[in-house]
A and B are shown apart, each in its own frame.
Chain A
Amino acid sequence: MKKFTPRPIDRISSVEELVYSSAERFGDKPLYIYVEDKEQHTFSYNEHKSSFDALRAALIDLGLAGKKISLCSDQHPDWITAFLSVIGVGGVIVPLDRELQPEQLSGFISITESEAVFLSEREYKLLSPYFDSLPLLRRIVIIGARPDAEIEDERVILFDDLIEKGKVKLSEGADPSACASDVKELACILFTSGTTGTSKGVMLSEYNLLFSVIQCCRMVANTEKDVFVSVLPIHHTFALTTNHLAMSYLGGTTFMNDSLKHTFKNITEVKPTCLILVPLFLETMDKKIWDNVRKQGKEKQVRALMKASNAMRKTGIDMRRTLFSGILNAFGGNLNHIIVGGAPLDPEIIRDFDAFGITVVEGYGITECCPLISVNPFKWRKFGSAGLVADGLEARIDEPSDTGDGEIQVRGGNVFMGYYKNDEATKEAFTEDGWFRTGDIGHIDKDNFIYITGRKKNVIIASNGKNVYPEELEEYLNKSPIIKEAAVIGRKSDDGVVITALIYPDKDVAGDVSEKELYEKIFSEINLINKGLPTFKHITAIEIRDSEFEKTTTRKIKRFLLK
């Protein structure tokens, strides 16, 4: 019988221990390789520790210890330093999605009462018209590449200058650990969607984050020999905890992907051993593989080789890295496994990658759990399962049906503290006996593996793993005069989930038009809405209806009737 024992890795007590312990063990080894001003740079474990100390000293000196501070930029080592340093001085870090519109970013900075913000130059330019409407904002720190021109705003300071300031303070005897707070207090707020009206702020403590980091280290098989290319947005908890925090604690080196355009080129050149991805990437990689194979007229040959290779593996002979070297070389040649989460993945793709010599390890998580709930252990994978319940977490099924399916509920050290300034939502999120309701429907087998079969909440999971909240899109749609009522659903298709708007038009506003003209008018409104949204939230289909939606007594659309 197969079984799995989590790796014996001790828990850590603070972000300081996370940074110090890694620097002690891995020293001058590159933690990050990144591109800035078109040049490649490295950032070692020791440099990380030095920046972490200096930034903490500088934040204390500026009176920003214990304050709420927002953070928004593309991935860069400064981002991680800022994230950990704010927590390390007892503050609350608010990472924001850089794909949001400036007014939305400004809304989040405002409602979190952030007193400072870390921004890259791009985000600074976008947000600068809003700074005067944020009276609490005292400091704006520009991270990443140095801006081309001098910025004339006394609140602005460059990250590098702040680090230098911190180093001076340290040389004068400042204690960077002086303001560390209780690890069970609020340390991070992550927002679930794009508007302040519909978004919920997930409150995480330092304890939650560190619990999840160690949980992840115990469950995966990665070591200091691993090289990663990080392609997921850094504020995404899956990327943040798994790739940036856990893998750095294990001693890996991560190449920060500098652009979505360069993803495949970077993977080929950097030759990663492991990738942490959402299904969209694997679907695209699989499609690319087969497109190339077909173009070379070798589909039959490759399929026959896969069959033969799979049969050989059953006898203990593994020739995959030789037989499929052409395919593996497109991903650098060293890619050994891929950790995938965020959305369901077609098991056929897992089998394809497995046959070529790349092990796909599927997991399941949710922002409210920092995010890890379960993952398939490297040597004990179950196809179709979202994995074994993570070490230190308990999972149960609420009111199971005849098939054993019911809502998945969890309890453990990585479960969040509640929603920011939203007691009602927090109350709804937990059962009376303190278990978190995930909103996902599924069952758990005798080995404690989770199988997800549906969703209770309205959220649509895009294939890039990001959540799309129908309420947010409906808020935009309802602003259009031609739309009387709207509801957004995710329709399943062969290509994944299609975000579909169900529209009840206002025919008085539309005027006397044909059905085709009405459709075109509504679609042009939707295209305008889409232009202001990140691609994964684009509404790509509409269905026009002749009657109003059926509603509850409180005038809410009965979502369960939507088909």
Chain B
Amino acid sequence: MYEEFKQLLVSKLEIDPDLIKPEANLANDLGINSLELADLVLYCEDEYGIEIDDDALQSFITVNDVVEYLSGLVSGK
């Protein structure tokens, strides 16, 4: 899931792959704002057939937070 999410960050938001690390802060290290994150989340919902709670968006601080959340939902399907 980490590699897939990393690819998504590169292809959708054109983020330098060298900057993407599990502990990277979405806002500070990667410059992703809440709207871009919401847009990415919508893409993940379509891609993996899952539904991500709006409130969860607020708890995503690092790349790993998103990856763990997505992994949990996908494995629980």
Q: Which one of A122, A284, A538 lies within 8 Å of B35 (CB-CB)?
A: A284
The reply to whether A259 and B36 contact each other, CB–CB distance below 8 Å, is no
Chain B residues with CB below 8 A from A530, complex form: 61
Give complex CA distance A99, B14 in Å: 29
Give complex CA distance A284, B36 in Å: 7
Cβ of B75 within 8 Å of any chain A Cβ, yes or no, is no
Chain A residues with CB below 8 A from B42, complex form: 261-262, 265
The reply to whether A261 and B52 contact each other, CB–CB distance below 8 Å, is yes
Give complex CA distance A228, B58 in Å: 26
Cβ of A263 within 8 Å of any chain B Cβ, yes or no, is yes
| B1-9, B26-34, B66-74 - the one binding chain A | B26-34
Cβ of B41 within 8 Å of any chain A Cβ, yes or no, is yes
The reply to whether B61 and A538 contact each other, CB–CB distance below 8 Å, is yes
The reply to whether A463 and B52 contact each other, CB–CB distance below 8 Å, is no
Cβ of A431 within 8 Å of any chain B Cβ, yes or no, is no
Q: Which positions 17-44 of chain B face chain A at CB distance < 8 Å?
A: 25, 27-28, 31, 33-39, 41-42
The 8 A CB mask of B49-70 against A (1 = contact, 0 = none) is 0001011011101100000000
The reply to whether B57 and A260 contact each other, CB–CB distance below 8 Å, is yes
Cβ of B16 within 8 Å of any chain A Cβ, yes or no, is no
Q: Which positions 359-406 of chain A face chain B at CB distance < 8 Å?
A: none
Cβ of A553 within 8 Å of any chain B Cβ, yes or no, is no
Specify the chain B residue showing the minimal Cβ separation from A531: B59
Chain B residues with CB below 8 A from A283, complex form: 33
Give complex CA distance A480, B61 in Å: 19
Cβ of A464 within 8 Å of any chain B Cβ, yes or no, is yes
Chain B residues with CB below 8 A from A287, complex form: 36
Cβ of A541 within 8 Å of any chain B Cβ, yes or no, is yes
Q: Which one of A122, A259, A260, A533 lies within 8 Å of B34 (CB-CB)?
A: A260
Chain B residues with CB below 8 A from A261, complex form: 38-39, 41-42, 45, 52, 54, 57
Chain A residues with CB below 8 A from B58, complex form: 99, 533-535
Cβ of A306 within 8 Å of any chain B Cβ, yes or no, is no
Smallest beta-carbon distance B39→chain A, Å: 6
The reply to whether A541 and B34 contact each other, CB–CB distance below 8 Å, is no
Chain A residues with CB below 8 A from B41, complex form: 261
Give complex CA distance A280, B13 in Å: 16
Specify the chain B residue showing the minimal Cβ separation from A259: B54
Q: Tell me whether A260 and B35 are in contact in the complex, defined as CB-CB below 8 angstroms, given that A99-B58, A527-B61 are known contacts.
A: yes
Chain B residues with CB below 8 A from A538, complex form: 27, 61
Cβ of A291 within 8 Å of any chain B Cβ, yes or no, is yes
The reply to whether A280 and B31 contact each other, CB–CB distance below 8 Å, is no
Chain B residues with CB below 8 A from A264, complex form: 39
Chain B residues with CB below 8 A from A495, complex form: 31, 33
Chain A residues with CB below 8 A from B13, complex form: 291
User: What are some 5 contacts across the A-B interface (CB < 8 A)?
Assistant: A260-B35, A262-B42, A263-B39, A538-B27, A538-B61
| Additional A-B contact list (16), CB under 8 Å, known A535-B37, A540-B28 | A260-B38, A260-B57, A261-B54, A263-B38, A264-B39, A280-B34, A281-B35, A287-B36, A464-B34, A527-B62, A530-B61, A533-B58, A534-B58, A538-B61, A540-B25, A541-B28
